[in-house]
A and B are shown apart, each in its own frame.
Chain A
Amino acid sequence: MIKNKGLIASYIVLGIFSFLSVFPLYYMFCGATNPSIDIIRGKLIPGTYLLENLKTLLDNQNLLLALWNSVKNSVIVTVLTLLVCSLAGYGFEIFHDKYKDRLMSVLLIAMMLPFVATIVPLFKMFSKMHLINSTAALILPTISTPFMIMLFRQSARSFPHDIIEASRLEGLGEIRIFFTMFIPVMRSTYGAAATVTFMNAWNSYLWPKIIFQSNDSITMPMLVANLKGGYFVDYGMLMLGVLICTLPTAIIFLALQKSFANGITGAVK
């Protein structure tokens, strides 16, 4: 009886939170399917104006290019981040000693300076390297973050050391152990890390804006900013743009969330 009460309470709490969380998506959907003037007037029922909004959006902006650029940039950043940071996190934890612990604390400082303060020096650096306008300038400063390293370091703490010992006895190399033992077992962490990295890369605005100079490099957040940049805002078009900009992260999450919900429990024993 008591158990059921707890369960019902859980459902209620989860239901309320889900409702609150989903509301904006519904709002965007209503916006994307209504003409601008109806949105301004507060209509909150889905309409039939989706195709018209899509047509204005396609006429106005290079939607497909922006989508492609965003996907490309975010995937590259995510793959490299996971590789570089998980290797480092593994190194920091599995081979930990007091020097590595100290280094970790030092690295953490990197996430404590507001980004605005480093924009100019970073830009100067890439301008000297003749890398302005290049994907390299976009991703190099973003792939290694202390947060991701620490995430993998903290997770590696629960990685059973006997697996490593056993593998070593079998004669597996350290790198091999990392790729064949650690990565599969740490699926849940990788799933969470991939979602978050992808999301950050997808939504990043200021740095790409500064580093890219041509129309060919437009990304989804830039596209959305352009939609709001004029004297007159077409809210139907804007909300459709915003909806298209939001969906990929949501889809990635939906696809990956299974992996970090069924992580280590099955793999170890």
Chain B
Amino acid sequence: MTKKLTLEKRQNLIGWAILLPATLLIFIFCFYPMLQAILLSFKRGNNASERWVGFQNYTRLFKDKVFLECLFNTVFYFVIQVPIMLVLALILAQMLNNPKIKGKGIFRTMIFLPCATSLVSYSMIFKSLFASNGFINTMLSWINIAPIDWFNKTWPARFVVIIALVWRWTGYNMVFYIAGLQNIEASIYEAATIDGCGAYKKFTKITVPLLKPTILLTAIMSTSGTLQLFDESVNLTAGGPGKATMTLAHYIYSTTFENTPNFNYAAAISVFILVCISILSFIQMKVGDKRD
């Protein structure tokens, strides 16, 4: 029976075989716990007192002012920060792909450094830069702008979070673009130069379309990263002033570990995030994942 598989079938089997280990690991260590979290979100109580409550934990979401504020903050970060960061990363990658630029290795390493920097020092530095008597306010005073109390005011604090995010992750995304740009043959750019295309045209007509698979990847990654944002909210602003910069993931953490614990409710918030990111990624996949 199995005497001779057709070449196509054989290849198909090999395809499945080599993606099996990774897939299994994800199913066991991601989907199984995820399933438990989803089940948890439809229950209330602990151990013996556990019972099913249907969508109660979800209806609670929309009565919870803290949740709504965190949701707003998270969406705000996502909408503002992701596009700025990705465009900046693309531009930097494009510049560093120019064969005429010297010292590329050094530039690349320096721009990558922020995301390698340990969280502790990174948050310390930003806190001191934006402190009321910090460097940023000193600079503002040079151009006759009154100092801003960055961390104590709602919008300035959110602004600092976005600056910090862009600073930390632009280099990270740039790395993928640089790697991706290597797959575009230099001759295409040469031909474009001969045709008299400017830098802007090359960027929009060659780089962006050919880099689409990588852009899709980074877009999905940043979407999921921003909507699960945790580090900056906890370490940089501690969610303050009030809850003005607190993210959903931070709120989940505090309902799990800090405040009066409510694991079921925390699970419901997590599932809410899961659904949101899934929808956004689905749209991104639909738009971006086509093989030409």
Contact = CB atoms under 8 A, between A and B. Distances in A.
Nearest to B282: A105
B180 A155 contact: yes
Interface in A241-268: 242-243, 245-246, 249-250, 253-254, 257-258, 260-265
B108 A257 contact: yes
B33 interface: yes
B119 to A, nearest CB: 7
A132 interface: no
Interface string A216-259: 00000100110010000000001100110110011001100110
A25 B113 contact: yes
Contacts of A158: 183, 213
Interface string A119-159: 01110010000000000000011011111011100110110
B29 A122 contact: yes
Interface string A100-124: 1001010111111111111011100
B183 A155 contact: yes
Interface centre among B172, B182, B186 (most CB of A within 10 A): B182
A187 to B, nearest CB: 9
A21 B19 CA distance: 38
A261 B213 contact: no
Interface residues of A, number: 95
B22 A85 contact: yes
A263 B12 contact: no
A11 B221 contact: no
Given A25-B117, A122-B33, A261-B104, A188 B228 contact: no
Interface residues of B, number: 90
A262 B182 CA distance: 7
Interface string B104-143: 1111111111111111111001001000000000000000
Given A88-B23, A143-B25, A249-B116, A112 B101 contact: no
B25 A84 contact: yes
A22 B26 contact: no
Contact of B125 (A10, A27, A147): A27
13 contacts: A13-B95, A20-B167, A28-B117, A91-B17, A105-B282, A108-B281, A109-B274, A117-B271, A141-B25, A263-B183, A264-B182, A264-B183, A265-B182
Interface of B: 11-12, 14-19, 21-23, 25-26, 29-34, 36-37, 91-92, 95-96, 98, 100-101, 104-122, 125, 128, 167, 170-172, 175-176, 178-180, 182-183, 185-186, 199, 213-214, 216-217, 220-221, 224, 228, 230, 248-249, 252-253, 256, 263, 266-267, 270-271, 273-274, 277-278, 281-282, 285, 291
